Amino acid sequence: MADQWHQPIRHVRGADLSGDTGQTAGMTRLEAISGKTVGSSRLWMGRTHVAAGTSSGDHHHGDTETAIYVVSGRPVFVFAEGGAEVRVETGPGDYIFVPPFTPHREENPGAEEAVVVIARSSQAAVVVNLPSLWA
């Protein structure tokens, strides 16, 4: 008998991730853990792919905190600060934290696809696409 202390563990295979989630031009988001896939109520997790030589559109994730782990490639995370564009260059093994409502984009200037794992503080796939970082 399941109760709040004895809930079943849910398993989502990497091959079973769904693209039926919020998307931004220039990247592909795949949903793994969400209310829709496993019944989570406070967490969303997935994987994002950015092809070589491309970048995503500018966007933010509403009131959710976002944590990113770089699996492969050398993605660059771009945001606005004090009227200037700030570029954070990363590599495999690095982590990025994106605060709520922070406009940003992912760029991949490298020759290989960039793959990152994303976790958000909401089970909803909040994606607000923007015309610019200053929108």
Model confidence pLDDT, tens digit, residues 19-67 = 999 898 889 999 999 999 999 989 999 999 999 999 999 999 999 999 9
> Is residue 51 situated within a structural domain?
yes
Q: What is the pTM of this model?
A: 0.88
Q: Output DSSP code: residue 18.
A: B
Domain around 102: 22-127
> Is residue 7 situated within a structural domain?
no
- Distance, in Å, from the CA atom of 26 to the CA atom of 57, rounded to the nearest integer, reads 6
Neighbours of 28 (CB within 10 A): 16
> Is residue 99 situated within a structural domain?
yes
> Is residue 13 situated within a structural domain?
no
Model confidence pLDDT, tens digit, residues 86-129 = 999 999 999 999 999 999 999 999 999 999 999 999 987 789 99
Neighbours of 9 (CB within 10 A): 5
Find the CATH number of the domain harbouring 40. 2.60.120.10
- Number of domains composing the chain: 1
Question: In 58-86, which positions are buried (b, 16+ CB within 10 angstroms) versus exposed (e)?
Answer: bbbbeebebebbbeebbbbbbbbeeeeee
> Is residue 134 situated within a structural domain?
no
